[in-house]
A and B are shown apart, each in its own frame.
Chain A
Amino acid sequence: MADAPKIGFSRRGFLKGAGVTAATTAIESANALVREAKDVAHFDRAVGPDALPVKLHINGREHSVTIEPRYTLAETLRDNLGLTGTKVVCDRGSCSACTVWIDETPVLACMTLAIDTVGRQITTIEGLSQGDTMHQVQAAFVKHDAMQCGFCTPGMVMSCAALLERNPNPNLDDVKHAISGNLCRCGTYPKVFAATLDVAQQRKQSAGLMTLSAGWEA
């Protein structure tokens, strides 16, 4: 992952906290614990192990769901909310298939506890398209055949779309970097590179056209 999650107490953070060796890791974990304490403070009580109702903001809508505090965001999206576009492949943060956005930052939903996302804006692959109209990156994936079995595709799309948000003009190496954590077993990487660079090119051209038309209007 190019971007570290900005949210609090991820599953990885918890695992680190459980068995720290390096001093820096200990500090990171301590910080995570502080953030965690702040995040759950609004529950007014210690939570778990039993299920509790929470409200999650997903794809611009509020979803009420009753989950155990140990549920990951990936499990909650898939099993509790039926949002199965987010895939679980390794379930331990090594393949990026479960990439979603939290407040526009790509994070691994399998390494994030769902209750930690309360109050955050979650975007999943289902939220990227507008109804049947594909997001530009999704359309480019289809155009360049940047998929085979398609199981890594939602995660790839989320990583590439996020890259284009933070860097509208990436080069090939930027794209490789952005998806360096996204594993694909069918070998679609070259097509993913082409699709992402194509969108950047399209946006540059349409930005040019907009400037031009603005000029005409003036």
Chain B
Amino acid sequence: MALESAQTTPVSPTRTDKFVWGIPQNGLQQKEREVSTEEPPPLPANAELTYIGKATERYDGPAKAMGTGKYTADVNLPGMLYARMVDATIPHGRIVSIDTTAAEKLPGVRAVHVIEHVYGVAELRDPKLETPSRYPVIRYAGQPIAGVAAVSQQIANDAAKLVNVQYDTMPFVVDRSEARADDAPVVFPGPADAAGSAGGGGGPAGVPQKGNVHGPERKTIGDIEKGFAEADVIVEGEYFTQVQTHSALETHGFVVDWKPEEMTVYASTQGTASVRSEFADVFKLPKSKVRVITEYMGGGFGAKFGAGNEGVVAAYLSQKANAPVKLMLDRRQEHIVCNRPDSHQKLKIGAKHDGTLTAIQLTSYGTAGVGTGAGTAGPATNLYKCPNLLTEEYDVFINAGPGAAFRAPGHPPGCFAFEQTIDDLALKLSMDPLDFREKIDENPARKVERQVIRDRTNWRNRKPAGSDTGPIKRGMGIAQSVWYRFVSMNSSCEVRVSRDGSVELMSAVQDLGTGTKTMLAVVVAEEFGIPPSSVVVRIGDTRFPIGPDSGGSVTTGSISPAARNAAYQAKLKLFAAVASKLGTTPDNLAVQNGRVIFKNDPSRSFTLKQVTAKLPTDEISAQATRLPEYSKERITYGGVDYVELAVDTETGRVHVEKVFGAHDCGRPINPTGVISQINGGMLQGISYALFEQRIMDRNAGYMLNANLENYKILGAREVPEIEIVLIENYIAQSSTDAAGIGESAGIITLAAAIGNAFYNATGVRMRKIPMTPANVLSALGKVQEVQA
């Protein structure tokens, strides 16, 4: 993770404040913290607030519903050219020659650029192991080679086909298990490492490598042998998960307008800051001459950080053609550019008769193609406390597109294996799965969430596994998730107040569709006592103060305190500027119930407009940057998800009928947005569990289903009934106490919960996803296993 944890001690003057702490269901408590004097006063619980914690309509909802929001794909600048990437048609080999003459001669073509360096893939520790070449070695079908810019997209597409690439082919391997063999073709002729993105993912560097097998990354706690010797009961399990592609509806893409005075980059990105840094690095420009804009963004899910090969190519084309260039990947390229790695996991867990865990051992092999980061140990390491743990994670290189961060990297496959093994252990101990987790999980939020599941679902009517006698078998199952509190200190906001009473917030932070704009409007609205719809939010432009890159659920927890603090400082400035004109002192002014009041005489109250009208200047503004966390306590978030499903044992189809989730993410700022994200995480989790799968052609070495009709993602017909309960969990860590929900929103748990429900329905353990009819019938012993 390239995300820093903000845990340095404040150096500025401090004071001691009392913060609301705990979970309402358990009775809220108070916690004393020493905080910087720059901090606003502590917020009370959501129940006592006007806008924070109340359902708020999406800030840019009308623009999205009316189609007026401009995404990167929609940018159309005067004189803009359209570009297409040219990519490799072979899985492994060297480029002998590239002839761009025909492409350049096509009327309407304005520039061609041939790539000299490929970004986002693993690189040899010792580059001398390969003969130097003008062109990068091709290691996967779809690897970017060149870009073409023309006056229309159609001409650019035509020209891309005219770029003639001659290859010297090399043996290749696109299957993880085949790639582990001693005599398998090697993807890299020696050890290679890949850097992670701002969104996390990425594997360890400098670990051993033999052939294509990179690793292990080993984590040890206690003594694993001793732990298993102490166990009364031991369960083992072997699990397989597939490669999932991000499939964001807006493909990766950029519009680059490279002018001598400034390079303007419109980016479909999760991090305007990461894009600005990488463009500055690659093109040796000062950051002050790179501007990145992301006003609307059509989904990322971890795939979109930095400049990317397509961004770099767009910039070169813009420079060569002296015109703005739009380069969006096509859908095939989007499926190849990055993915969630697959996995083959072996788990062994030991416990005492009373359920006490004594040992957890995980070995995982996974492929991130020509990248690394296939580790799955997150859930096994962090979900339950165990005195003895050993995890060994291996990356296996194959000739396929690189893995990347994808919504809770490592956790959905890890949870699929781990939470099913935990259920197996419960079965062996003759304990109810919820009771067993009660025994091994101390987390107070999870305890409340399990109680919600017990109270509000059909769990109490759960029957023993395989009880249904007909061909349709129903079952229920649960699984838990865990995610971490990451904070980025690159989180700043400016708040402006004008004499006419208007309030604006500005930050470079981007909104991926998660509702960042709305969340910021709510935070500022609370401070000024005006409705969120009255706050103007301008974000996604590096002309504004820096914002965090949105990966690892970092955004809300990082930027919301900066927003509140900026609003608070602006409010103090306003009060200082107008108090004498109102006949009082600044410290006698406060916002209460949507009005500015005299603290010593609440009958004296004004609207914000009446107060700002007294400003001596047209505008005041304040900027604030994220201050450190209030304490060093280690905090995790998570949830418990419950699934009811039906398995048709004749057709092999799995129908998820109901999902009930109880989740926590600190203080929810806008429950509407949080619930929408959890809805989405659950549905993406079902999609991962039942449908999605990258299929590689073993003979030709390319992805067979790089499109949206053969790469199946969940549609309207597969949506179950969904119920979501949000658990407020006050932790007294920042001026908002908020956190993101992107990762622990259901994507982690659903495959595992479906697996556990499948077992409850059929008495058979699904060890492989996706649970397609073929895989289900094979697990039920009705057909022979087929390899996709």
Known A87-B73, A189-B715, A189-B716; 6 more pairs at CB < 8 Å: A84-B76, A88-B73, A142-B62, A148-B514, A151-B299, A192-B716
**Interface size, chain A (Cβ < 8 Å):** 58
Closest residue on chain B to residue A158 by CB atoms? B67
**A85: Cβ under 8 A from any B Cβ:** yes
**A32: Cβ under 8 A from any B Cβ:** no
Residues of B in contact with A (beta carbons under 8 Å apart): 57-58, 60-71, 73-74, 76, 82, 152-154, 247-250, 296-299, 301, 330-331, 512-515, 672-673, 676-677, 679-684, 707-709, 713-717, 719, 722
Contact of A124 among B67, B73, B515, B680 (CB under 8 A): B67
| Residues of A with C-beta under 8 A to B672 | 145
**A70: Cβ under 8 A from any B Cβ:** yes
| Residues of B with C-beta under 8 A to A78 | 74
| Residues of B with C-beta under 8 A to A143 | 57
Instruction: Report Cα–Cα, A154/B714, bound state, in Å.
Output: 19
| Residues of A with C-beta under 8 A to B679 | 187-188, 190-191
Closest residue on chain B to residue A51 by CB atoms? B152
Q: In the complex, are the beta carbons of B248 and A149 less than 8 A apart?
A: yes
Q: In the complex, are the beta carbons of A145 and B66 less than 8 A apart?
A: no
Contact of A191 among B76, B249, B676, B714 (CB under 8 A): B676
User: Which of A3-11, A92-100, A206-214 makes up part of the contact surface?
Assistant: A92-100
Closest residue on chain A to residue B330 by CB atoms? A91
Q: In the complex, are the beta carbons of B708 and A71 less than 8 A apart?
A: no
Q: In the complex, are the beta carbons of B154 and A71 less than 8 A apart?
A: yes
Q: In the complex, are the beta carbons of B67 and A149 less than 8 A apart?
A: no
Q: In the complex, are the beta carbons of A153 and B707 less than 8 A apart?
A: no
Q: Which among B60, B67, B682 has the greatest number of chain A C-beta atoms within 10 A? A: B67
| Residues of B with C-beta under 8 A to A101 | none
A84-B67, A85-B66, A191-B679 known; A148 vs B716 contact (CB < 8 Å): no
Min Cβ gap B288→A in Å is 30
Q: In the complex, are the beta carbons of B57 and A176 less than 8 A apart?
A: no
Q: In the complex, are the beta carbons of B76 and A79 less than 8 A apart?
A: yes
Q: In the complex, are the beta carbons of A179 and B716 less than 8 A apart?
A: yes
Contact mask A158-190 → B, CB, 8 Å, 1/0? 000000000000000001110111111111111
Q: In the complex, are the beta carbons of B57 and A145 less than 8 A apart?
A: yes
20 contacting pairs across A/B (C-beta < 8 A): A86-B67, A91-B331, A95-B249, A126-B67, A134-B65, A142-B58, A142-B62, A142-B65, A145-B57, A149-B248, A151-B250, A151-B298, A153-B65, A154-B67, A176-B719, A177-B717, A185-B248, A187-B683, A187-B684, A190-B719
Q: In the complex, are the beta carbons of A75 and B67 less than 8 A apart?
A: no
| Residues of B with C-beta under 8 A to A153 | 64-65, 67
Q: In the complex, are the beta carbons of B709 and A150 less than 8 A apart?
A: no
| Residues of B with C-beta under 8 A to A27 | none
| Residues of A with C-beta under 8 A to B677 | 148
Instruction: Report Cα–Cα, A205/B229, bound state, in Å.
Output: 70
Instruction: Report Cα–Cα, A157/B65, bound state, in Å.
Output: 7
**A37: Cβ under 8 A from any B Cβ:** no
Q: In the complex, are the beta carbons of A142 and B61 less than 8 A apart?
A: yes
Q: In the complex, are the beta carbons of B65 and A183 less than 8 A apart?
A: no
Instruction: Report Cα–Cα, A84/B77, bound state, in Å.
Output: 13
Interface of A is mostly: loop
Min Cβ gap B21→A in Å is 30
Q: In the complex, are the beta carbons of A79 and B152 less than 8 A apart?
A: yes
Min Cβ gap A216→B in Å is 35
Instruction: Report Cα–Cα, A151/B297, bound state, in Å.
Output: 8
Q: In the complex, are the beta carbons of B719 and A138 less than 8 A apart?
A: no
| Residues of B with C-beta under 8 A to A87 | 71, 73, 249-250, 298
Q: In the complex, are the beta carbons of B676 and A188 less than 8 A apart?
A: yes
Instruction: Report Cα–Cα, A155/B401, bound state, in Å.
Output: 30
Instruction: Report Cα–Cα, A191/B101, bound state, in Å.
Output: 52
Closest residue on chain A to residue B63 by CB atoms? A150
A148-B680, A150-B513, A176-B719 known; A68 vs B249 contact (CB < 8 Å): no
Q: In the complex, are the beta carbons of A147 and B61 less than 8 A apart?
A: yes
Instruction: Report Cα–Cα, A96/B513, bound state, in Å.
Output: 19
Q: In the complex, are the beta carbons of B713 and A147 less than 8 A apart?
A: no
Contact mask A76-114 → B, CB, 8 Å, 1/0? 001100101111111110110100000000000000000
A85-B67, A87-B249 known; A149 vs B513 contact (CB < 8 Å): yes
| Residues of A with C-beta under 8 A to B673 | 145
Q: Which among A71, A91, A148 has the greatest number of chain B C-beta atoms within 10 A? A: A148
Q: In the complex, are the beta carbons of B676 and A149 less than 8 A apart?
A: no
Instruction: Report Cα–Cα, A167/B513, bound state, in Å.
Output: 31
Contact mask A123-156 → B, CB, 8 Å, 1/0? 0111011000010001101110101111111100
Min Cβ gap A71→B in Å is 7
| Residues of B with C-beta under 8 A to A90 | 331, 707-709
Instruction: Report Cα–Cα, A187/B720, bound state, in Å.
Output: 12
Q: In the complex, are the beta carbons of B61 and A145 less than 8 A apart?
A: yes
Instruction: Report Cα–Cα, A52/B50, bound state, in Å.
Output: 59
Min Cβ gap B107→A in Å is 11
The 5 A-B residue pairs whose C-beta atoms are closest, nearest first, are: A85-B67, A149-B513, A187-B680, A150-B64, A187-B683
| Residues of B with C-beta under 8 A to A193 | 716, 719
Closest residue on chain A to residue B60 by CB atoms? A150
Closest residue on chain B to residue A143 by CB atoms? B57
Q: In the complex, are the beta carbons of B250 and A149 less than 8 A apart?
A: yes
| Residues of B with C-beta under 8 A to A145 | 57-58, 61, 672-673, 676
| Residues of B with C-beta under 8 A to A95 | 249, 708
A148-B515, A183-B708 known; A176 vs B66 contact (CB < 8 Å): no
Instruction: Report Cα–Cα, A85/B62, bound state, in Å.
Output: 12
Instruction: Report Cα–Cα, A18/B365, bound state, in Å.
Output: 45
Closest residue on chain A to residue B679 by CB atoms? A187
A75-B153, A97-B249, A150-B298 known; A180 vs B717 contact (CB < 8 Å): yes
Closest residue on chain B to residue A68 by CB atoms? B154
Instruction: Report Cα–Cα, A82/B67, bound state, in Å.
Output: 12
Closest residue on chain B to residue A82 by CB atoms? B76
Instruction: Report Cα–Cα, A10/B676, bound state, in Å.
Output: 36
Q: In the complex, are the beta carbons of A185 and B299 less than 8 A apart?
A: yes
Instruction: Report Cα–Cα, A147/B58, bound state, in Å.
Output: 9
Closest residue on chain A to residue B67 by CB atoms? A85
Instruction: Report Cα–Cα, A18/B158, bound state, in Å.
Output: 20
Instruction: Report Cα–Cα, A153/B673, bound state, in Å.
Output: 16
Contact mask A40-83 → B, CB, 8 Å, 1/0? 00000000000000000000000000001011000100110010
| Residues of A with C-beta under 8 A to B68 | 85, 126
A148-B513, A151-B299, A188-B676 known; A126 vs B66 contact (CB < 8 Å): yes
Q: In the complex, are the beta carbons of A150 and B154 less than 8 A apart?
A: no
Contact of A79 among B57, B153, B682 (CB under 8 A): B153
Q: In the complex, are the beta carbons of A129 and B66 less than 8 A apart?
A: yes
Min Cβ gap B683→A in Å is 3
| Residues of A with C-beta under 8 A to B715 | 180-183, 189
A92-B707, A145-B58 known; A151 vs B76 contact (CB < 8 Å): no
Contact of B65 among A79, A141, A177, A187 (CB under 8 A): A141
Instruction: Report Cα–Cα, A184/B682, bound state, in Å.
Output: 13
Contact of B512 among A89, A149, A181, A191 (CB under 8 A): A149
| Residues of A with C-beta under 8 A to B64 | 141, 147, 150, 153
Q: In the complex, are the beta carbons of A149 and B716 less than 8 A apart?
A: no
Closest residue on chain A to residue B677 by CB atoms? A148
Min Cβ gap A84→B in Å is 4
| Residues of A with C-beta under 8 A to B70 | 84
Min Cβ gap A89→B in Å is 5
Instruction: Report Cα–Cα, A142/B247, bound state, in Å.
Output: 24
Min Cβ gap B533→A in Å is 11
Q: In the complex, are the beta carbons of A150 and B680 less than 8 A apart?
A: no
Contact of B154 among A70, A141, A192 (CB under 8 A): A70
